[in-house]
Amino acid sequence: MTGPAVGTTPTRSPAVRGRRELTYAVLLSLAGAGLACWAVTRTWAVELTARGSLPAARHTRTGADLLPWASALALVGLAGGGAVLATRGRVRRLLGVLLTLVGLAVAAGGGYGLGEAGVSRQWPALVLVGGLLAAAGGALTALRGAGWPAMGARYERPARAAAPAGAERPAVERGTRDAWEALDRGEDPTVS
């Protein structure tokens, strides 16, 4: 047994590289959108209102209270990350562009939260990071996604070959043996 020559690297097939890139893009999109979705629901600010001789009233505000659109966009990013698996070709690339824009908008919301007075810095920073991760996954999808494998492609029915003579009728009508042979070929014996 001999291994690869010293100084050479084994080449990977384009299909393996495509699956790996697809995995990275989906994980980046889902992790980023999930992080942003979680961080936007945390308490970003606490307001105290004086009530005379009574203890001050405490009112907490989450990121969703301050930026209601940020949580909605993070959810769109989560859905889009899953949709990358179910699309292919130009539609997948278009989805990548959309995910990039959604991720950048979520990151902008995190950046806005960082600039607000009286707001905790950790949660808006996590929204910013999550938005940038989702945007990176979307950008990878937009740039490279057209060539990636599609979900369920191996389950699609192959193109039908030319039917042999006498195959105009369904296989069931031609005989039991023809019906079983049609099933063996993966065809529906009840359809001509």
Whether 8 is in a domain gets the answer no
Chain segment 113-166, per-residue pLDDT in tens:
988 888 889 999 999 999 999 999 999 999 998 888 876 645 555 655 555 555
170 and 93 part of one domain: no
Q: Show the domain range for 183.
A: 164-192
CA dist 172 → 147, 157, 178 (Å): 41, 20, 7
Q: Are residues 91 and 43 in the same domain?
A: yes
Q: Are residues 30 and 90 in the same domain?
A: yes
Question: What's CA 59's distance to the chain center, in Å?
Answer: 36
Over the Cα atoms of the chain, what is R_g? Answer: 27
| Sign of the Cα pseudo-torsion (174, 180, 185, 190, in order) | positive
Co-location of 188 and 113 in the same domain:
no
Do residue 139 and residue 181 come from a single domain? Answer: no
What is the value of pTM for the model shown? Answer: 0.69
Cα-based torsion angle of the residue sequence 111, 98, 81, 18 in order, rounded to the nearest 10 degrees: -120
* Residue 71 pLDDT: 92
